[in-house]
A and B are shown apart, each in its own frame.
Chain A
């Protein structure tokens, strides 16, 4: 888990550069509250302290990176507590949770403070000038965003999701160091490209394949949420099923759904299906 945090360093730095003090505050709050919640619950459950395994810190960091920079301090605190308490410990703690805790925290805030979670600002701006995300601009206003902006991060979005290059660097680190299996990220990316290409060819208002890969939370989700071993399938076949289905669902929500972005709900939905996927994708029995 420390390795995953290391892989998140480029994206975190990008977030700090783009959104300055707001990003710094949210990251500090989320990480601190997550660790504190973890420790308190461990003591209540009379379990050994688990701070040193970095899992709570990782959950806090991931949650901060998927929040809009304008999220209020109490939103960050509530989201972190919810992520650790409900997302993780109610299921039995580390290794037992069904859903990705950071995504659970964000989903909770999305349901509780929908306005806060859908208000985004321009990066580098001293004042908070609200500005829709590239996905929302494309979907609701038919305004395109230059791919180079998406690639380097000069667009509005959640703290850690705007700079594609930083996420790709972290993702490559994860795959090269074999911190996570490559099957889910690769199948998700390939499916996204294939599916968005088909849609783009039917109507190029849907956005190009590169636009869909580089925008929104896709890369963050692919490399850092869908690679969480605890909440994703253990079988190789199952990982392909997870990756392909999640990517299709993301594209369906983005293109046909009411929301402009679908990474969070798609991955959470696939988390719920994971036990079922494991059950039906057992490896072929030796000799059978």
Chain B
């Protein structure tokens, strides 16, 4: 764990705005962990807002929906923030007013029906990992603790914080649905102590009979990085450690991000698939940082063309995600994905050349998974990929604490990613 400069001010205090009328949307069919979605549309098809345009393709996969009405103009390879490129759908939007249609008889829905709704709404984990949510809702083991993750430990980002401040009732309604499905003994709502306003709202919601759930407990955790990492958070609130290569259910836990809870609420209560999300835009290259509700697939370019965002100075670095785990982008032609919590536009970079490792072991001291990160950069530089497993490289969650703390400025996470990709598969 490390303490980084949080940069949450003013981001946390900016009321959310909306930009829901884009002209063109770029929708990669790989926005989640697992198999890419199976295309259901072809070039020239007319679609309505909320129509499924790509379906679940395998056990771990997610569906994709048209964020707006319009015409499919192309199916082609498009830019993707983390995969560089992915097959995707280009949608020319013709906006029509769409009324929310509240679903009736929610109380009568069976577990199977609820999970089917989540599955058919294309919901994935919105904290960044984008794991298909319907898969998580059918855990193979009994779950004693449901953890709601409102930590948002990445510096700059504040979309989860704003969501908790502005939509806490809806989040609790979403939690209630998850509670019905997995029936945990205890629900822990975990928030970092740097979000006082969100904490107030959660406390209020818990104490209000109508929205509060009887077994929800608020856990205020220390603001540190990567406190919001799934394994770190489980340890922080339950003192249990998820075993290596294990999943949270191995220790009877399940973790959902607050935005995912909100998406589940919208899907169940309004039949609204995951087609928009709250995104933070931050960094000193912007005239004004913002938190904006945006249709999935909107490109950064369109946000700047339509003056939703404006540059004060041209940015030296553009990052999809936060500064710790985010991916540097090569331009503005990238779409917003389901798992994207924010973008960073920085005017300056203190780019320092990497120097040699002096084995000072700061990386060892800060590693949130008790690994020896210096070994990875050494082994990868020497092409000794066979030895990476001796140091349990797969345990690494790529949180970036090592690279952040490295006095020699060695991009350790970069070497770890290369190492994971190049090491022999078992």
Contacts and interface: CB of A to CB of B under 8 A. Distances in A.
Interface of A: 53, 93-96, 181, 229-230, 232, 234-236, 278, 282-288
Contacts of A230: 358-359
B361 interface: yes
Contacts of B360: 229
Nearest to A283: B370
B231 A94 contact: no
Interface in B347-393: 355-361, 364-365, 367-372, 374, 391-392
Interface in B309-339: none
The 9 closest A-B pairs by CB, nearest first: A234-B361, A287-B241, A283-B370, A95-B356, A287-B243, A229-B360, A286-B369, A229-B359, A286-B370
B395 A286 contact: yes
A78 B335 CA distance: 64
A286 B241 contact: yes
A93 B359 CA distance: 13
B243 A234 contact: no
Given A282-B391, A283-B364, A286-B395, 13 more contacts: A93-B356, A94-B356, A181-B361, A229-B361, A230-B358, A235-B364, A283-B370, A285-B392, A285-B395, A287-B242, A287-B243, A287-B244, A288-B243
Interface string B228-246: 0001000000000111101
A157 B338 CA distance: 70
B244 A285 contact: yes
A53 B407 CA distance: 13
9 contacts: A53-B355, A229-B361, A235-B361, A235-B364, A283-B367, A285-B244, A286-B369, A287-B241, A287-B243
A286 B369 CA distance: 5
Interface SS of chain B? loop
A227 B47 CA distance: 67
Contacts of B369: 285-286
B124 to A, nearest CB: 24
A234 B372 contact: yes
A121 B168 CA distance: 79
A96 B359 CA distance: 9
A234 B370 contact: no
A282 B369 CA distance: 12
Contact of A285 (B359, B368, B370): B370
Contacts of A278: 372
Interface SS of chain A? loop
Tell me which of A94, A230, A283, A286 has the highest count of chain B C-beta atoms within 10 A of its own C-beta: A286
Nearest to B232: A286
Contacts of A232: 359
Tell me which of B364, B372, B391, B395 has the highest count of chain A C-beta atoms within 10 A of its own C-beta: B364
Tell me which of A95, A181, A232, A236 has the highest count of chain B C-beta atoms within 10 A of its own C-beta: A95
A234 B364 contact: yes
A181 B364 CA distance: 12
B295 to A, nearest CB: 38
Contacts of B367: 283
B392 A234 contact: no
Contacts of A95: 356-359
A198 B232 CA distance: 45
A288 B365 CA distance: 18
A284 B372 CA distance: 11
A283 B371 contact: yes
Contacts of B243: 287-288
A229 B363 CA distance: 13
Contact of B246 (A96, A235, A282, A287): A287
A96 B381 CA distance: 13
B357 A288 contact: no
Contacts of B355: 53
A96 B358 CA distance: 8
Interface string B162-191: 000000000000000000000000000000
Contact of A94 (B246, B358, B364, B368): B358
A159 B174 CA distance: 73
Interface in B383-426: 391-392, 395
B398 to A, nearest CB: 14
A232 B360 CA distance: 9
B374 A234 contact: yes
A234 B355 CA distance: 18
Nearest to A284: B370
Contact of A286 (B244, B357, B359): B244
Contact of A287 (B231, B364, B372): B231
Tell me which of A95, A234, A278, A282 has the highest count of chain B C-beta atoms within 10 A of its own C-beta: A234
A284 B231 CA distance: 15
Nearest to A181: B361
B119 to A, nearest CB: 29
A16 B391 CA distance: 48
B391 to A, nearest CB: 8
Contacts of A94: 356, 358
A13 B359 CA distance: 30
A283 B242 CA distance: 16
A53 B408 CA distance: 12
Contacts of B359: 95, 229-230, 232, 234
